[in-house]
């Protein structure tokens, strides 16, 4: 007997890529279970699927930075600054990144490439360990949202968030609608998606000087004048990141979707002197609208 739940959840995360650097992503999750009927004549109660399996997936990868532990581009070491924190040093074709975060902000995956196949294998093994014995098989389908227009991948962190959004390197794959005097302008949408392609978005208020950043010894030895430093302490712990300017956009606000929508609208009004509406998405099916 098979039981399915489509659109069980959306996972928003970032991952380390040897070519692209740190990439924000959003995938929709579908679940198919195989098994014998239990004493309630069910493979598994839908409430359990929606609550327990979603919680397992969220705990494993959602709002985390996914690390391909078999790839030479990445090095992970214990922090010498804080207990239960780790350094991540990432060297890629596009840019070099150096981070410190609590352990819970990272997902270590035994692969050399973070992609749908490797994350599916990782999640399947974790979930199967926690399901009842009558469930004999599990098929996860991870898929990006079908977007017909332009979109961008971004990574950020929200220090004021009490939940997992506080993690300094989690992200989203998002689309955007920009209206000028009530009419969508594809050229503007494309321009912003190009500007924020595989970008790290930082808040100016979180900027620190080099002497105040906490990173690994390797990172300190390889920082360049092109690196910018951002750090904050949030409920989960201390977060630090060094990012090169070519993969960075620094905004004059927090990087919530509400304020990013407003940031874009303010930039466009200053450039065009026309009524602007920005519909900015944060991953799949949620976002904010700003008018200027």
Using only C-alpha atoms, the chain has a radius of gyration, in whole angstroms, of: 20
Distance CA 198, CA 248 (A): 9
pLDDT on residue 292: 85
DSSP label at residue 168:
T
Proportion of the chain in helix, strand, coil states, percent, rounded to 5: 25, 40, 30
Tokens of 105: 């902000």
pLDDT on residue 47: 67
Regions in the chain scoring below 50 on pLDDT: none
Going 145 to 150 to 152 to 158, the CA torsion angle's sign is negative
CATH number of 2-173+199-252: 3.30.479.10
Chain-centroid distance of CA 162 in Å reads 17
- Residue spans of the domains in the chain: they are 2-173+199-252
Cβ atoms 280, 288 nearer than 8 A: yes
Q: Where are the beta strands (DSSP E) in 61-215?
A: 65-68, 74-78, 85-91, 96-102, 106-109, 135-143, 151-156, 170-180, 183-184, 199-203
pLDDT on residue 5: 85
Cβ atoms 62, 166 nearer than 8 A: no
Distance CA 235, CA 254 (A): 17
Tokens of 208: 């620190």
pLDDT on residue 131: 77
Cβ atoms 88, 99 nearer than 8 A: yes
Going 81 to 86 to 91 to 95, the CA torsion angle's sign is negative
Chain-centroid distance of CA 46 in Å reads 28
> Which pLDDT tens digit goes with each residue over 242-268?
999 999 999 999 999 999 999 999 999
């Amino acid at each position: 007997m098979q039981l399915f739940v489509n659109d069980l959840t959306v996972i928003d995360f970032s991952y380390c890529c040897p070519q692209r650097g740190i990439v924000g992503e959003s995938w929709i999750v579908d679940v198919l279970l195989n098994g014998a009927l239990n004493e309630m004549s069910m493979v598994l109660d839908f409430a359990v699927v929606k609550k327990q399996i979603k919680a397992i997936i969220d705990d494993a990868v959602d709002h985390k930075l996914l690390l391909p532990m078999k790839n030479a581009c990445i090095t992970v070491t214990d922090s010498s600054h804080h207990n239960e924190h780790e350094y991540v040093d990432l060297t890629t074709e596009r840019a070099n990144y150096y981070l410190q975060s609590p352990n819970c902000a990272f997902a270590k995956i035994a692969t050399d490439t973070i992609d749908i196949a490797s994350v599916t294998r990782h999640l399947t093994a974790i979930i199967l360990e926690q399901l009842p014995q009558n469930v004999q098989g599990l098929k996860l389908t991870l898929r990006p949202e079908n977007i017909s227009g332009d979109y961008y991948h971004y990574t950020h962190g929200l220090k004021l968030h009490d939940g997992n959004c506080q993690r300094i390197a989690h992200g989203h794959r998002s689309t955007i609608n920009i209206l000028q005097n009530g009419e969508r302008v594809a050229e503007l949408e494309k321009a912003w998606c190009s500007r924020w392609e595989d970008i790290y978005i930082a808040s100016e208020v979180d900027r620190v000087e080099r002497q105040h950043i906490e990173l690994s010894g390797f990172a300190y030895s390889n920082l360049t004048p092109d690196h910018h430093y951002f750090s904050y302490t949030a409920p989960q712990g201390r977060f630090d990141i060094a990012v090169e300017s070519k993969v960075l956009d620094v905004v004059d606000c927090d990087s919530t979707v509400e304020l990013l929508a407003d940031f874009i609208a303010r930039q466009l009004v200053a450039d065009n002197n026309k009524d602007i509406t920005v519909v900015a998405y944060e991953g799949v099916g949620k976002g904010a609208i700003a008018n200027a």
